[in-house]
Structure 1
Amino acid sequence: MLSLAYWVHMYKEWRLTKNYLIIGPLAYIMLQEFYIFVTELAHLCSERTAASMSATRLLHCDGKGTNNKSSSNRMAYEVFLGGSCNPTTWRSEIAIPTLQRLGITYYNPQVSHWGPELIAQEYEAKQTAKVLLFVIDNQTRNSAGIIEAAQLAATRRESLILVIYPYRQGQTILDETVSIQEYCDLMNGLLVLQYLMERQRIPIFESVSIALNCTSKVLREEIHVQDLHADDGIRPIKISFGQNGMDLLMLREIFRSMDINDNGTVNLEEAWIALQSSVKCNVSSMPELLSVVNKSEAYRTLIDDGFLAKKDPTELRINFEQFCALAMESAWRVKSNGVSCENWTNFFVPESEKRDLYVGVIGKDQFWLETTAIPSIESSGLSLYRSSLNEYNVKVLPQELQRMKNSRLILLIVPQHSRGITIMALAAHLIGLRAKLVLCVQTLPEDCLVSGEKLTEQAVKDYNRGRMYLSDYATREGVPVFQNIADALQHAIQLVQHLC
């Protein structure tokens, strides 16, 4: 009993100081479980009853019965099971049995009746999980799941594992046939999410089972999801250099300046030195360079197996395609305090390209933009970039994102005449990137019409759930959220004037 008392005392000391690093996170979890067990055992022994092992259920959580627990007493689970919920069964039939077999702790947010009061609880579980396993299943509309994944692609890019099951034309969701228009909106949302993921070099999986194997590997080997390779079952990243913000003309000029003999190849070490100055990548030695090349999935796919086996690394030569792959790898590895260069807080914009406001609207809000917003902005002496599209998609996103990055403030309108999947995903991603943002999020009415098509009661509920998630996340991050479009515009103008 003396040793038990000692461990209980040590647990209390560590919990009070919160200095978990002394023993490590896994040891802390074991100690916390042990403390809970000892406490319950002592209580039961005092009542002369058989010891219950119910305390071990804290290794796994299903989101039920935890609303009354204070945040200081909640455990940090290893995996958060996010994404599609009812009526999907991927958690109960595949994920949970696998994780239990592997001894991996998890938090399951799927409950029989979801309510807004669960948003805060799920948020806390996501914040502490080591791996976020998200499944976007085609059995649901996934408005909230797509928004969450887009946000996490910006804030938890190194620990997000995503599975996507695409929609099919003519399929049903909760016994409701998906129209052609809704199918296009849903697929566009998935394509935009995939684009945002690939900008952060986050692989996408086509199977829950393969994703679980990689989840185990990430936890076991303490690596990032970007360190996974094709051998692990990831789908190759297809984003082009132009889509990733790489200037192909600039890269071509750099390559040509080194290719003096015009033979189509350049020295690897010289290429790296040139890229260091152009993308400001801090890798100084040839051994470090070769280590980077060897770990780069994008680059390894372009070289033969014997490439790195050459005795003299200074003789290694690469072609333009390999040079571009190396440039993308270089850009990705630019870090500032562990945050990707995609973070917008310290982004430099030439004055000639800078604007005060970017106003993002879709559909018939274009009329409001032309007749009301632009005159009001210009009368305030402000400059702007304006979206001129009916919907955001992967074809226009590279250009639109660059315009947003070149603006002091971004105003995005999520209207009540659109399902709003893509613009909500984009807004959540921008919040994660720390962009300066103002949102107008309008709730869909019960009799909502989208391009003349009446939405069902279930569809309105599903798309409004996404709006609730976005509004809650924005509020948590200090982003102003309005329901009235005029109020949002006026607030955005005032904020920009203050920034100027």
Structure 2
Amino acid sequence: MFKALVVGCDGGCQSVQVLAAVVKVVVVVLLLLVLVLLPVHEMLHVAREVSPGDTAAHLLTFGEFCLFATELRQCYDRETPRPPLLSKLSDKSCSEKKRSERKMSTESLPKYEVFLGGSCNPTTWRQTVAIPMLKDHGISFYNPQVLHWEEALVEVEYQAKQTASVLFFVLDHNTRNVSSMVEAAYLAGRRRKLVIVVDSYTGPGQLINGEPISEQEYQDLTSGLNTVQDLVERQGIPVFAEINHALNCTAKILRDNIHPQDLGTEDQVQPIKYPYLQLGDKLIQVHDAFVNTNSEPEQITLADARVAYKVVTNKELTTEELQNIVAFKKGIEVEDLNGTELPLNEISLSFDEFCCIVAEFKNHHLESRRLWDILSHSLQKVIGWALPRRPLRPLTSSGGRDLYLGGSLGSRVTWREQIAIPLLLKHGLSYFNPAAGACSGRLLPMEAVLMEHSRVLLFVITDNTRGVSAMAMASHYIGLGCNVVLCIQMLTEDSLVNGEQLSRLALKDYNRGRSYLTDQANKDGIPVFSDIQEAVECAINKVASSR
């Protein structure tokens, strides 16, 4: 599509065509951002890790973008299916659970169209925004936020939640949202019709229940919201930022009997197609081939690039393709190389140029010979993302692991090294340890795939962490029907989180989330322990029985 850039065209004609091409590529970038938020984030994160030197300002080069776009297009063309969950429980157990839910729904009356879940006191979004709009649309609803609560309402609320056509959840920044995050993540896993509004926290010092939150608590709560958003979007469910917009889409879901995943750009919703695609590993593979085939960290000869290309694609660069590369680098016409020996050892390529070559020739698309030269400087900083720069080298074997060591992370969390890993090595079991790699603050698709390629998922929520993200993750995979083992330790008045003493209200909020997760696990038949070693031993036994 960029063929016009490399044919003979001089003066103003060439400038106009170059400008048009730049605009076109920028539009493509923006469309990609709209369509595949999780793969874009993953690609950006990995791009920072493979960039040479200490380039903290590195964002996304044109070559990396070309590689990303090519891989993405191939996934779309192939209509890449969602990968299976190795930890998925048997169809029989999942069918029994669904039959139980259907039985519950037929016996439950009345049936509300919308369940208004999420943040409660001191928020007023139900009374001031949601309920008036639902009444205007003639939509029935159940409001769990009541003035006078009593024990009998527990069952009424549960029945309303089970039978509602749409579950409308708002995560309001005026509360910690711990239980709501855990619940929303579970419901997304159950693939219910979930409409969710995420209201970001404003920053350290923001008041919750009259108490300013610290920098660390702000990071933990924000990480929890990001995890929930990534889990929800991984199911193709859009996340809203504004309640009125979400309510209008809820009315359409009910009116047209569609799912939230069916909403599109005409609804001013960002469609999330193939959210499970993992693209970051492609860039890692290209980078590893680049650095392992040559001794120079930032340059590679064309002769070595020829070998690295074969490693990545399992194909040979053709003579025609090599001629085009040499002609471009020397600034001559391809015809001038006919009948001559190509100076492959005299031509040097950067990693960015090597990415372009892989993207360009992997499927023999020969029309864009000089893309990286014409557009790289214009597009160097089109996309920006604030990500930590830490080594990222996830295990990429597709064979699967026996156990995923999930749960609380942090420098003071040592149960993996001190308890779990020695026991696993003793039993000769393989594992994936998320604490051993980098944490981007988001659930990257390739990290999720490694988790989902484990037979048993162990989540340990320790009593020295807030554990918001970990609880949401565990809840989601319970909802998906995976083989999960939990260890949940309640916080006490003596608990310190990174040296911080929790207030009485904070302690109540974080323990409420732990209690909700425990109750939900018990309902789903998931074993829950408070002792870490007992939980690890249970997980080991589950691995043995799943083989």
Q: What is the TM-score of this pair, normalised by structure 2?
A: 0.58
> How far apart, CA to CA, are the structure 1 residues paired with 2:212 and 2:496?
17
What is the identity percentage for the equivalent residue pairs of Structure 1 and Structure 2?
Answer: 46
The question of whether the paired residues in 1 share the 8 Å contact of 2:401 and 2:453 is answered with: yes
The question of whether the paired residues in 2 share the 8 Å contact of 1:385 and 1:403 is answered with: yes
Measure how far apart 1:165 and its partner are: 1.1
Q: Which residue of 2 aligns with 1:458?
A: 505
1:189 has 2:224 as partner: yes
Q: Which residue of 2 aligns with 1:353?
A: 399
> How far apart, CA to CA, are the structure 1 residues paired with 2:455 and 2:143?
39
> How far apart, CA to CA, are the structure 1 residues paired with 2:259 and 2:403?
36
- Cα 1:258–1:381 change in 2 (3 A) is closer
- Cα 1:392–1:112 change in 2 (3 A) is farther
Measure how far apart 1:478 and its partner are: 1.4
Query: What CA deviation, in whole Å up to 9, does each residue of 1:101-137 have, x standing for no partner?
Result: 2211111111346688755543332221111111010
Query: What CA deviation, in whole Å up to 9, does each residue of 1:316-336 have, x standing for no partner?
Result: xxxxxxxxxxxxxxxxxxxxx
Give 1:181's aligned amino acid: Q
> How far apart, CA to CA, are the structure 2 residues paired with 1:475 and 1:117?
20
Query: What CA deviation, in whole Å up to 9, does each residue of 1:436-464 have, x standing for no partner?
Result: 11011111112321101111000010111
The question of whether the paired residues in 2 share the 8 Å contact of 1:412 and 1:438 is answered with: yes
Query: What CA deviation, in whole Å up to 9, does each residue of 1:445-498 have, x standing for no partner?
Result: 123211011110000101111111111111111111111111111111111122
What secondary structure, in the 3-state scheme, does the structure 1 residue paired with 2:414 have?
A: helix
Which residue of 152, 156, 160 maps to 1:125? 160
Which residue of 196, 200, 217 maps to 1:162? 196
Q: Which residue of 2 aligns with 1:404?
A: 451
1:98 has 2:133 as partner: yes
Query: What CA deviation, in whole Å up to 9, does each residue of 1:117-170 have, x standing for no partner?
Result: 75554333222111111101011000011111111222135x211111110122
> How far apart, CA to CA, are the structure 1 residues paired with 2:535 and 2:269?
41
The question of whether the paired residues in 2 share the 8 Å contact of 1:408 and 1:436 is answered with: yes
Q: Which residue of 1 aligns with 2:540?
A: 493
- Cα 1:262–1:73 change in 2 (3 A) is closer
- Cα 1:114–1:457 change in 2 (3 A) is farther
Which residue of 147, 156, 181 maps to 1:146? 181
Give 1:404's aligned amino acid: M
Give 2:527's aligned amino acid: P
Q: Which residue of 2 aligns with 1:205?
A: 240
Q: Which residue of 1 aligns with 2:480?
A: 433
Measure how far apart 1:235 and its partner are: 5.0
- Cα 1:455–1:207 change in 2 (3 A) is same
- Cα 1:239–1:80 change in 2 (3 A) is same
| CA RMSD, Structure 1 to Structure 2 (Å) | 3.3
Q: List runs of 5+ in structure 2 lacking aligned partners.
A: 1-103, 287-311, 314-354, 370-395
Give 1:94's aligned amino acid: V
Measure how far apart 1:394 and its partner are: 3.9
Query: What CA deviation, in whole Å up to 9, does each residue of 1:334-388 have, x standing for no partner?
Result: xxxxxxxxxxxxxxxx986322111124225643321222111111222222222
- Once the two structures are overlaid, the 10-residue window that deviates more, 122-131 or 416-425, is 122-131
The question of whether the paired residues in 1 share the 8 Å contact of 2:194 and 2:260 is answered with: yes
Q: Which residue of 1 aligns with 2:86?
A: none
- Cα 1:120–1:398 change in 2 (3 A) is farther
Alignment: residue pair count:
347
- Cα 1:78–1:364 change in 2 (3 A) is same
- Once the two structures are overlaid, the 10-residue window that deviates more, 456-465 or 204-213, is 204-213
Higher relative contact order (CA 8 A, sep 6+): 2
- Cα 1:117–1:375 change in 2 (3 A) is farther
Give 1:493's aligned amino acid: I
Measure how far apart 1:396 and its partner are: 5.8
- Cα 1:491–1:178 change in 2 (3 A) is same
- Cα 1:116–1:357 change in 2 (3 A) is farther
Q: Which residue of 2 aligns with 1:443?
A: 490
What secondary structure, in the 3-state scheme, does the structure 2 residue paired with 1:183 have?
A: helix
Give 1:450's aligned amino acid: V
1:111 has 2:146 as partner: yes
Q: List runs of 5+ in structure 1 lacking aligned partners.
A: 1-68, 265-349
The question of whether the paired residues in 2 share the 8 Å contact of 1:205 and 1:235 is answered with: no
